[in-house]
Amino acid sequence: MLNACQEGPHSSRQRRPRRRGFSLLELTVVLLLLGIVAAVAQPKFSETLSRYRVEAAAARLQSDLIYAQTLARVRSRATTIRFFVAAERLTSAYRLEGVPDPAVAANRFSPQTPSTWYRVALHEEPYRVALRAAPATLTFDLHGRPDTAAAMTLGLGTRTRRVRVIAGSGEVVIE
């Protein structure tokens, strides 16, 4: 038999209910640790993002130069790329003249209307890079040979990549 002083499993005194949730101190410590990890990771993330943007822009420019070269051969007529660089307006873009923009409906393309031509704005998302190009225009003849050697430098922060068109062979390389 149980005495009145002894507690049984079903006594009138109940155990305290288990505490649910977190204390304010625990939440503060977790948020502090997350803040420290974020502060350490942010520069590395920023550097990685810059590198990705420059690499992606260089690859895009290289493929578009090869595309222009191929179009010149296929159509048996010259294809020109014009580079637009305006430092004061932070504009970096290029345009394939007389080539339809894939984003424009085919029935709206006009060879006489530059706004319907293939255009890439490197200063906008997803690239957001600066472009330095020499010369301002590059023309591939009907055999796909460039009229001159060309060098385009793409940069963001401390990251840069250079895309060159070699005059004799017409080869397009990323350096």
For 4, the 3-state DSSP assignment is coil
Q: In the structure encoding, which two tokens stand for residue 30, read together? A: 């977790």
Residue closest to 95 by CA, chosen among 55, 54, 127, 139 = 139
Across 100-119, average pLDDT: 83
Residue 11: inside a domain, yes or no?
Answer: no
Domain boundaries, position 101: 28-174
Q: Within 13 A of 16's CA, how many CA atoms are on the CB side?
A: 3
Across 91-101, average pLDDT: 91
**Model-level pTM greater than 0.85?**
no
Residue 3: inside a domain, yes or no?
Answer: no
Residue closest to 81 by CA, chosen among 122, 120, 115, 128 = 120
The answer to whether the beta carbons of residues 95 and 82 sit under 8 Å apart is yes
Give, as one character, the DSSP assignment of residue 124: S
Across 45-54, average pLDDT: 92
Residue closest to 153 by CA, chosen among 57, 15, 31, 12 = 57
Residue 6: inside a domain, yes or no?
Answer: no
- pLDDT tens-place string over residues 140-151: 999 999 999 999
User: Prior bond to 100 cis, omega within 30?
Assistant: no
Residue 162: inside a domain, yes or no?
Answer: yes
- The size of the chain, in residues, is 175
E strand map for 69-156: 79-86, 91-100, 117-121, 130-134, 137-140, 150-156
Residue 72: inside a domain, yes or no?
Answer: yes
Query: Which CATH number covers residue 38?
Result: 3.55.40.10
Residue 165: inside a domain, yes or no?
Answer: yes
Residue 151: inside a domain, yes or no?
Answer: yes
- Look at residue 67 in the predicted model and tell me its pLDDT: 96
Please count the structural domains in the chain: 1
- Look at residue 9 in the predicted model and tell me its pLDDT: 57
- Is the C-alpha dihedral spanning 80, 142, 161, 51 positive or negative? positive
Residue 23: inside a domain, yes or no?
Answer: no
For the cut 60, the answer to whether the pLDDT of residue 5 exceeds it is no
